[in-house]
Amino acid sequence: MSALRKVLVVDDDPVVGKSFDRVLSGKGYAVITASNGQEALNKLDAEDYDVVFTDIKMPGMNGLEVAERVKQKRPWLPVVIVTGYGSKENETRAEAAGVSSFLRKPLSPEMIEGSAEKALLERDAGVAVPGQVEAAPQPAPTQAPPASFGRVLKNVALFFAAPFVGLAYILAFPFVGIGMLAWIGGKALMKYASGRAVATFMAKTGMFIGGPLLGLAFVLLMPWVGAVILAWIGGRALLKRYDAD
84-143 pLDDT, tens digit per residue, is: 876 888 888 888 989 988 888 888 999 999 999 999 998 887 654 443 333 334 444 445
Rg, the chain, Cα only: 48
Residues 6+ apart with CB under 8 A from 186: 199, 202, 203
> Kind of pairing, strands 79-83 and 29-34?
unpaired
169-215 pLDDT, tens digit per residue, is: 566 556 656 666 666 666 665 665 455 665 565 666 666 666 666 66
What string of DSSP letters covers 62-91?
-HHHHHHHHHHH-TTS-EEEEES---HHHH
Alpha helices in the chain (DSSP H): 14-24, 37-46, 63-73, 88-97, 109-126, 149-189, 193-244
Query: For the residues 230-245, what does the mean pLDDT come to?
Result: 65
What pLDDT shows up at residue 225?
A: 66
What pLDDT shows up at residue 212?
A: 66
SS3 at position 99:
coil
Q: Which residue has the higher pLDDT, 147 or 234?
A: 234
* pTM exceeds 0.85 for this model: no
Q: Which residue has the higher pLDDT, 223 or 195?
A: 223
65-100 pLDDT, tens digit per residue, is: 999 999 999 999 999 999 887 688 888 888 898 998
Residues 6+ apart with CB under 8 A from 234: none
CB 106 within 8 A of CB 52: no
